[in-house]
Amino acid sequence: MKKEVLIFISNGYADWEAGYISAELNKPESEYTVRTVSLTSDNVQSMGGFTVVPDYTIDSLPAQFEMLILIGGTGWKDNSAITPVIEKCINDKTPISAICDATTFLAEHGYLDNIPHTGNSLDYLKEYAPNYKGHTNFIEKQAVSSDYIITANGTASLEFAREVMKKLDGFQVEKTDGWYNFFKNGFYQE
């Protein structure tokens, strides 16, 4: 049986931010499978216009999953109902990965105050997460991995995917770095 990784999506989610990691986790040879979770069982529409029927709601989560991935997008001001799921992950030491405005949400709710992290920019976090107090732990990198939380800015889908793969068992670091370099640099140099 494959291990589940949950990707939280809400209306207006940034579909491209989940593309690389979803494809890698769902490969036939992977020991993982991706399942989507949303606030309700209603269809969710991405920024790119994809309509997704969530596999789970926040009230019907499986007892065990390997990671919660929070995808950025335009709906994060309305997603406070996900907070108990985030709290459960932190208490159970289940890794959480957040990209783009999902990091802003984590910053606003104090989850990044005491750990190394990144986001869209320090100024962005200060402006859009007024309760944020973690500025001394902000690192100007595309993606940052701490013990149980991975953060990335909105231009870092590849770096985000690389850090998620490195955090999950079953992905060799050398192969993950090779995968990253291939997609970052392509077949041909411009």
Residues marked as catalytic: 100
Cα(95)–Cα(12) distance, rounded to whole angstroms? 24
DSSP state of 145: E
Taking the C-alpha atoms of residue 25 and residue 3, their distance in angstroms, rounded to an integer, is: 10
Among candidate residues 4, 11, 59, 20, the one with its CA nearest the CA of residue 176? 20
β-bridge partners, 44: 52
Q: Which of 93, 140, 131 is nearest to 112 (CA)?
A: 131
Sequence-ordered strand ranges (E) for the chain:
3-8, 32-38, 44-45, 51-52, 56-57, 67-70, 96-99, 143-145, 149-152
